[in-house]
Amino acid sequence: EAQVTQNPRYLITVTGKKLTVTCSQNMNHEYMSWYRQDPGLGLRQIYYSMNVEVTDKGDVPEGYKVSRKEKRNFPLILESPSPNQTSLYFCASTGRTEAFFGQGTRLTVV
């Protein structure tokens, strides 16, 4: 079964404490990306990766980092989270005609 797995599903953290949200796909896709969803703004792309070791900024990259050391994994790193990064985050893996999304990670930064 085609799957994108994100962890954790829910996370509450404090300002400045580094965190990583993991994402893994089992479809051998090259293109993966991270989005954040905020009320009234829809989903906006944070970072994307076109293949292993190839990553680039999306529309709202400030405060985030990513890495792509293996094709299946694309973690999102917040090195010093701030309250304005409180949001719902989605990882996506894109095939030939469709993007598959993870279940989302609801992050709260206090």
Partner 1 sequence: AQSVTQLGSHVSVSEGALVLLRCNYSSSVPPYLFWYVQYPNQGLQLLLKYTSAATLVKGINGFEAEFKKSETSFHLTKPSAHMSDAAEYFCAVTGSTNFGNEKLTFGTGTRLTIIP
| Least distance in angstroms from the C-beta of 99 to partner 1 | 6
Q: Which stretch binds partner 1 (CB under 8 A): 15-23, 68-76, 78-86, 92-100?
A: 92-100
Contact flag: residue 92 with partner 1 (CB under 8 A): yes
What's the per-residue H, E or C state across 65-79?
A: EECCCCCCECCEEEC
Contact present, 101 and 90 (Cβ < 8 Å): yes
| Least distance in angstroms from the C-beta of 37 to partner 1 | 8
Exactly one of 11, 27, 50, 52 binds partner 1 (CB under 8 A); that residue is 50
Contact present, 105 and 87 (Cβ < 8 Å): no
What tokens were used for 72?
Answer: 């299946």
What tokens were used for 96?
Answer: 């030939």
Residue nearer to partner 1 on the CB measure, 56 or 70: 56
| Least distance in angstroms from the C-beta of 76 to partner 1 | 15
